Amino acid sequence: MTNAPDSEADLNITPEHPPATVHPSLRRIVLTGFMGSGKSTIGCLVAAHLGWTFLDLDAHIESRTGLSVPDIFAIHGEPYFRRLESTALVSALGRRNTVIALGGGTPECLTNRLLLEQTPATATIFLDAPFPDLFDRCVLQGISRPLLADPAVAADRFARRRPLYRSLAHHTIDTSALAGPDAAHALIAALAAPLKRSR
């Protein structure tokens, strides 16, 4: 099963409701946030609404290496995964009309943050929610995530990363009370105006 909408009917695209648009200066939309924040689900919906490509950084790494993210962690360790992640980010930011879902840890690396801040025409959106909500969502998804094995350590990571997500973001969307489609609409609406220079 996939979270991607199947058809234009699913997106309610009709002659009365044409495909959505964002400000014409934008070429990339980057979604950041902790594990379970909805980056892939919401990113897929936003891309479908705009008629853009969706790129999930983890999926990109998995298809390049032929290994799942948990296997990369288990076989090669986290530092190796982080190097692959930085390379994947450079390649993703070279694309146009693309919605990019980062991994939850991508912004921990200063080089990645500088890349995100300095790539023109690129909007960064932080999908926020309280840690207990995110943790529960991850448990419900049942996807293996190596860094969630110990909830207390995961909570520390969240606290350390949240200021980084915030400082990178042009916009923050609180997803705690929003279903995926509503969050996708809120995101698109926030990007109708040109990006402000200050974050």
Name the residues that contact ligand S3P, by CB under 6 A: 35, 39, 58, 69, 103-105, 145-147
State in angstroms the smallest separation of the CB of 60 from ligand S3P: 11
Q: What is the DSSP letter of 53?
A: E
Q: Which is nearer to ligand S3P, 3 or 25 (CB)?
A: 3
State in angstroms the smallest separation of the CB of 119 from ligand S3P: 20
Q: Which is nearer to ligand S3P, 130 or 146 (CB)?
A: 146
User: What is residue 137's three-state secondary structure?
Assistant: helix
For residue 99, the cross-strand partners are 29, 54
Q: Which is nearer to ligand S3P, 20 or 124 (CB)?
A: 124
State in angstroms the smallest separation of the CB of 91 from ligand S3P: 16
State in angstroms the smallest separation of the CB of 62 from ligand S3P: 10
Q: Which is nearer to ligand S3P, 147 or 190 (CB)?
A: 147
Query: What number of other Cβ atoms are within 10 A of residue 56's Cβ?
Result: 21
State in angstroms the smallest separation of the CB of 9 from ligand S3P: 28
Q: Which is nearer to ligand S3P, 58 or 128 (CB)?
A: 58
CA distance 145 to 51: 30
Long-range contacts for 175-180 (Cβ within 8 Å, ≥24 apart)? 175/33, 175/37, 175/38, 175/42, 175/127, 175/128, 175/129, 176/128, 176/129, 176/130, 176/133, 180/3, 180/38, 180/41, 180/42, 180/45
